[in-house]
Structure 1
Amino acid sequence: MNFFLLLIFCEVVSIYAAQCPSGWVQEASSCYLFVTSSREHWTTSSFHCSLHGASLVEIDSAKENDFLRKHLTDLGVHTDFWIGLTDDSLEGQWEWLPSAETSGFTDWAPGQPDNGHNEDCAVLSHHSDYHWNDDQCDNSHYFICEKEVSGDSMIVIG
């Protein structure tokens, strides 16, 4: 009888052992891959991310942006990194790909975006302390991939 009552009052809690693949960095519910092994065009960078089940990073908040800027500063690479923002479909209308969501949060460097030379893709620019800048999509840069943390669920009784 006591065993039966104990079972009635036990909670079943689902715990997610969330983790990122080796070489990725976890922040909140996302995993980030900072690719510094090759410089690629924006489209090639996006394709490379898709091979990992990811996309070029979509920056949704100041907190995420600050994390990325700090991590890049800590890496000490001193170069630009592609992000998943483009206005290639319609000049001046910046959207994240592949989600096609417009950018609610922005962190453009002063005077940017300026479409200086047909610049339709965005980077975190080391020249402006990793604030955003528009650049020509066929320039070659390092890049940041993002995907959701994957979790294996398990049941704990207690």
Structure 2
Amino acid sequence: MHSLLSGFVLALALVATIDGALDLPSNERPRIPVYEGQCDPPFSPVEGSHCYFLSYNKMKSDWLSAQLVCSWLHPNGRLAEFETVEELVDATEFLFKDNQDGTYPWAAPGPWIGAIELGDSNEFVWASSNSPIEVPNWSPSRPNSPTFGDGVALDVTNFFEWIDLSNGTEIPILCEIPSNPPPVELTCSDGFFSLGDRCYAVFDNDADRLSWYNAKTLCTSLAVGGHLVEFQTADELGLVKDHLLESNYDCFFYWIGAEEIGNTNTYFWTSSGQVVVFYDWWSGQPDDGTSGDAIGLRCSDNWRWSDEPKYGTRRFICEAPPVDV
């Protein structure tokens, strides 16, 4: 018996066939690993980006009721349909290994899947689309049930090969739902570092000094969505200030992305056009009497703000959103 099981696992690892023997090397193709948030509960994630509900020996029903139960479990729930060789291999390998574990035994003969017979023709379709089954995995001598409108079950005693049964037979169920998309992996553009959910670049060398306008232009060119740093929330301001206080940057004045409206001492963030709603001025600031100033962070003043004319060359800090890997 052990040799039979070993032979089956080896066969699954090597081939997948359209007519029943499993012609795609499953160990040579990429398979999406299980990822966080892949499936809505109570469905279980399976490698290959699949989501299944297995009733084991805890629930049995006829084929039509099984479809109904799947739809109760999730709005997009249905009996499992294996529409590609890849999914058939993924599901069969998973079920076989899960069954070998033995923690949750199946009731014989095994679960319903979403294939149904057309009349008494021994021709089967996937119920959700009424489409022909391109990748069957019939047990030898199957299908052979004499009844009308049979359903298809997976035979737990024979490596989960397919058998046809009267659709009124009460057996376990195997439901599926579409998986949720994988989480997007984000990173910072070259030259930027991650802080919170944003990316920053601090230009603290003397050779980096630019006017406010030129610094603004450079930040835009360095990354998609790049701009001089803007503090949209007090939390972001605190996060960046903590970083600056804990780091060993040259202690000078650094441009940020706030520009004065006329000579009003009211500022707006230039990339968003939003008026600055909170300030972190150093004592006595703002104190420049010219029109259209910009704001900078003064290291010597605990990184608090002061206003200066935009033509002065200063160090600066860029900000950009993370990008897809």
User: Structure 1 residues 62, 6: CA separation in 2 closer, same or farther (over 3 Å shift)?
Assistant: farther
TM-score (norm 1): 0.83
1:17 pairs, out of 172, 182, 185, with 185
Tell me, yes or no, if the aligned pair for 1:59 and 1:105 is still in contact at 8 Å: no
Kindly indicate which of the two structures has a greater share of residues assigned to strand.
1
Which residue of 1 is the match for residue 251 of structure 2?
78
Task: Report the Cα offset of residue 48 of structure 1.
Answer: 0.6
Equivalence for 1:127: 300
Higher relative contact order (CA 8 A, sep 6+): 1
C-alpha separation in 2, matches of 1:104 and 1:6: 55
Work out which of the residue numbers 48, 51, 57 in structure 1 matches 2:218: 48
1:33 aligns with 2:205: no
Unmatched tracts of structure 2, length 5 or more: 1-78, 81-90, 92-112, 114-172
Counterpart of 1:100?
A: 273
- 1:43-77 deviation per Cα after TM superposition (whole angstroms, max 9, x unaligned): 01001111113111111122211222222231331
User: Unaligned regions of 5+ residues in structure 1, if any?
Assistant: 153-158
2:317 to 124, 144, 158: 144
Percentage of pairs with the same residue? 24
TM-score, normalization: structure 2?
Answer: 0.43
Residue matched to 1:110 = 283
Superposition deviation, residue 13 in structure 1: 3.6
Aligned mates of 1:9, 1:94 — CA distance in 2: 51
1:41 CA drift (Å): 0.5
> Could you say if the C-alpha distance between residues 6 and 133 of structure 1 is closer, same or farther in structure 2, counting changes exceeding 3 Å?
farther
- 34, 40, 64: which one aligns with 2:236: 64
Greater C-alpha Rg: 2
Letter in 1 for 2:310: C
CA distance in 1, matches of 2:174, 2:307: 62
| Total equivalences in the alignment | 152
RMSD: 2.3
